[in-house]
Amino acid sequence: MSDAPPPDEPVPSARALLKERDYLLFWGTRWTGSFASQIQSVAMGWQMYALARLERSVEESAFLVGMIGLAAFVPVFLLTLPAGEAADRYDRKKVLLLCLTGEIVSVLTLALATVNGYASPALLLVIAALFGASRAFFAPANTALGPMLVPRKLLPRAIAWNSLAWQTASIAGPAAAGLLVARSAETAYFTTFALYGLSAVLVASIRGNAKPEVKPGSRWQLMKEGLSYVWRQKIVFGAISLDLFAVLLGGATALLPVFARDVLHVGPEGFGILRAGPAIGATAVALWLAANPIRRHAGSIMFIGVAVFGLATVAFGVSKSLYLSVGALAVLGGADMLSVYVRQTLVQLVTPDHMRGRVASVSSVFIGASNELGEFESGVVARLLGPVGAAVFGGVGAVMVTALWARLFPDLRRADRLE
């Protein structure tokens, strides 16, 4: 960390990133890939709920929507260690290309099945599992490749812009998906197919070195080394586990198809607007962070962000107005962006390059657990308490987790500089 800028030295301008050709290509593939995955996720959730409602109740259909998250998470959990080791052993660009190929095949299969009338809840769960397997390898390779393409002094800026790429895609993706699904599910899937193809072209155009320095040792030894590193770095472990449990409990976005159709009664277009709500707030915060990176009181800011995330989830759960619901989701997304920024910056700054893939894989399984298992948890609770009760339960749980983690990880709470 000796090459980090001194506390009083200005952080390099964001314009400096524009001179990094390979990083711009990386940013482009991150945006197009995220845009595609958002459209696919929204379309699959909407299609699952629509198919289930033909024969099942609201609560049973909500449970099936949650099952998509579980189907996507299981392969992430099973493959996380070998995926991280692969990102630290093989050319990271080639790993990304293989993953994008898998995603192209899976979404094309779903598109053709929908066109020919073969789509079913079972097929959607199978595709979700295949998508999860591709993402298990994609996440650590993608996370580890980014820092190889920029000078270390630009890394905090690059992390903020990486988040901005994901968040802006998360605004455009759900809104576009709502319009596409209103026309037909297959239109959404074929659009996703084209976007994955563009993402693959951008990855293939990166010229810089993407192969990590491989350290000696067996694959099992390297995987254990990654786990041990995360466990020893208590600030890192506390940050990613806080994100895990807070989002696991507060995953109200998984229930948006239910809220759009049977609570707020706003249809597929309103569903797209609701799905864009969290990303609207997150993008606003990401833009601010890209111009003004956090330099002090990082731990406190992270805890405040997670607490606000939980409170906004409660507000969304009790809302009966589309506008109030979108506002609550925007606050939720902005608060989550703060914790994501702190966590990603901490992990990438303190982790040496030869271990970034393995550490990123551990982090990705925590993220996957919080998102996909959060969808499953929301579906299960909705089956018992209904969608409104599930959202309120999750938001209160996220606030309680924040308070507990503040006591369990005092060093994380006192973490100051992100340099």
pLDDT-derived band at 8 (thresholds 50, 70, 90) equals very low
Per-residue pLDDT reduced to its tens digit, 335-355: 988 887 787 777 666 676 666
pLDDT at 44 over 80: yes
Confidence category of residue 214, pLDDT binned at 50, 70, 90: low
Q: How confident is the model at residue 56 (pLDDT cuts 50, 70, 90)?
A: confident
Rounded to 5°, the CA angle 304-358-12 comes to: 55
Out of 19-28, 250-259, 308-317, give the one with best mean pLDDT.
308-317
Q: What stretches of 205-266 show up as alpha helix (H) in DSSP?
A: 219-232, 234-249, 256-258
Determine the Cα–Cα distance for residues 302 and 325; give it in Å rounded to an integer.
24
CB atoms within 10 A of CB 141: 31
Among 31, 19, 294, which Cα is nearest to 162's? Answer: 31
Q: How far apart are CA 100 and CA 318, in angstroms?
A: 39
Q: Would residue 4 count as lying in a domain?
A: no
Q: Is there a domain that residue 292 lies in?
A: yes
In a domain, 213, yes or no: no
Residues 6+ apart with CB under 8 A from 233: 350
Q: How much is the mean pLDDT over the chain?
A: 81
Query: Position 239: which residue type?
Result: A
pLDDT above 90: percentage of residues in the chain: 23
Interval 377-405: pLDDT, tens = 777 788 788 888 988 988 999 899 999 99
Q: Is the pTM of this model over 0.85?
A: no
Q: SS3 for 206?
A: coil
User: For position 269, which CATH number holds?
Assistant: 1.20.1250.20
Task: Answer whether 11's CB lies under 8 Å from 83's CB.
Answer: no
* Total residue count of the chain as it appears in this document: 419
- What's the rounded Cα separation, in Å, for the pair 11 and 153? 8
Confidence tier at 314 by pLDDT (50, 70, 90) = very high
pLDDT value at 30 more than 50:
yes
**Residue 7 in domain:** no
Residue 292 — left, alpha, or beta (φ > 0 → left; ψ -120 to 50 → alpha)? beta
- Judge whether 80 lies within some domain: yes
pLDDT at 261: 83
> What residue has token string 């309103």?
270
Give dist(CA 170, CA 278) in Å, integer: 8
Is 10 inside any structural domain? Answer: no
Radius of gyration of the chain (CA): 20
Count Cα atoms within 13 angstroms, Cβ side, for 318.
Answer: 8
Residue at 2 is within a domain: no
DSSP of 114-146, one letter per residue?
Answer: HHTT---HHHHHHHHHHHHHHHHHHHHHHHHHG
* Summary count for the chain: helices (H), strands (E): 15, 0
Q: Is the dihedral of CA 10, 15, 18, 24 positive or negative?
A: positive
**pLDDT reading at 35 higher than 60:** yes
Among 160, 163, 149, CA closest to 212: 149
Q: Exposed (0-12), middle (13-18) or buried (19+): which is 214, by Cβ within 10 Å?
A: exposed
Which tens digits make up the pLDDT trace of 127-168? 999 988 898 888 888 888 887 888 877 777 787 788 778 767
In DSSP notation, 333-396 reads HHHHHHHHHHHHHHHHHHS-GGGHHHHHHHHHHHHHIIIIIHHHHHHHHHHHHHHHHHHHHHHH
CA distance 99 to 102: 5
* Total domains, the chain: 1
| Nearest alpha carbon to residue 405 among 295, 334, 302 | 302
Amino acid identity, position 409: F
Continuous segment of H or E residues that includes residue 164: helix 155-183
- Provide the 3-class DSSP secondary structure of residue 319: coil
Q: What is the pLDDT of residues 247-282, one digit of tens each?
A: 777 767 778 888 888 889 888 778 778 877 887 888
Least confident stretch, 13-17, 188-192, 279-283, 337-341:
13-17
Residue 143 lies in a domain: yes
* Residues spanned by the domain of 21: 16-207+218-414
Determine the pLDDT at residue 154.
78
